[in-house]
A and B are shown apart, each in its own frame.
Chain A
Amino acid sequence: TQLLEQSPQFLSIQEGENLTVYCNSSSVFSSLQWYRQEPGEGPVLLVTVVTGGEVKKLKRLTFQFGDARKDSSLHITAAQPGDTGLYLCAGTREGRGNQFYFGTGTSLTVIP
């Protein structure tokens, strides 16, 4: 089992729809990041959240860090085909600052 579980694992939606991806754990994290990965490429950072309850917006993407710092969500408004990709959360555990662990991944397909 992985430390960070993402849901759903796969998501296929029509262009213009909204969606939310969840990243959950039983462990506390001092920070959490979201990455996006396209086929044949390495992940690229979207955002870092460090404070419990923090909300960050990046155009149509909204990221939230849970109050207890055990979970996070990514909400996309009016999805576009260019949003298609694998979304990965990655967390730094409390007291283990040298490692960060990736979630199980959510594969998003936006159909034109």
Chain B
Amino acid sequence: NAGVTQTPKFRILKIGQSMTLQCTQDMNHNYMYWYRQDPGMGLKLIYYSVGAGITDKGEVPNGYNVSRSTTEDFPLRLELAAPSQTSVYFCASNTQGAGTEAFFGQGTRLTVV
């Protein structure tokens, strides 16, 4: 079972470049989330979606954009990469929102130089 799949696993960006982090899930989950995790720390919510066509901001949305055109896919876009966006990014999904088990991808390690 694939679960939640993130690509790429690693990426180095130069300041000002843009990129899209891909996330897809095959569990037919309505809820999807993007988090960032700095070394040795907890996860901070960037954006989330409760279904196709619906997205909302989390704790730290500045510098990021998302879209949800299908149930399966929830890409995260960085338009103008900054060193402060160096982090590990996790995508997650679950069935009925918070309080139910969230399934995570393996993460994307992004370095902005």
Contact = CB atoms under 8 A, between A and B. Distances in A.
Interface residues of A, number: 31
Interface stretch (A53-61, A65-73, A96-104): A96-104
A45 B102 contact: yes
A105 B98 contact: no
Most chain A CB within a 10 A radius of its CB, from B40, B45, B98: B98
A48 B98 contact: no
Contact of A42 (B41, B42, B58, B106): B106
Give the size range of B's interface with the partner.
20 to 34
B90 interface: yes
A67 B87 CA distance: 36
A43 B94 CA distance: 13
Contacts of B40: 9-10, 86, 105, 107
Given A98-B98, A99-B98, 13 more contacts: A10-B40, A42-B90, A42-B92, A42-B104, A90-B43, A90-B102, A98-B48, A98-B50, A99-B58, A104-B42, A105-B40, A105-B41, A105-B42
29 contacts: A6-B42, A33-B99, A33-B101, A40-B106, A40-B107, A42-B104, A43-B90, A43-B104, A48-B99, A48-B100, A50-B99, A88-B42, A88-B43, A92-B99, A98-B31, A98-B50, A98-B56, A99-B45, A99-B98, A100-B99, A101-B59, A102-B35, A102-B43, A102-B45, A103-B42, A104-B41, A104-B42, A105-B42, A107-B40
- 5 tightest Cβ-Cβ pairs between the two chains A and B: A42-B104, A92-B98, A100-B98, A31-B99, A102-B43
Interface of B: 4, 31, 35, 40-45, 48, 50, 56, 58-59, 90, 92, 97-107
Interface of A: 2, 4, 6, 9-10, 30-31, 33, 40-45, 48, 50, 86, 88, 90, 92, 96-105, 107
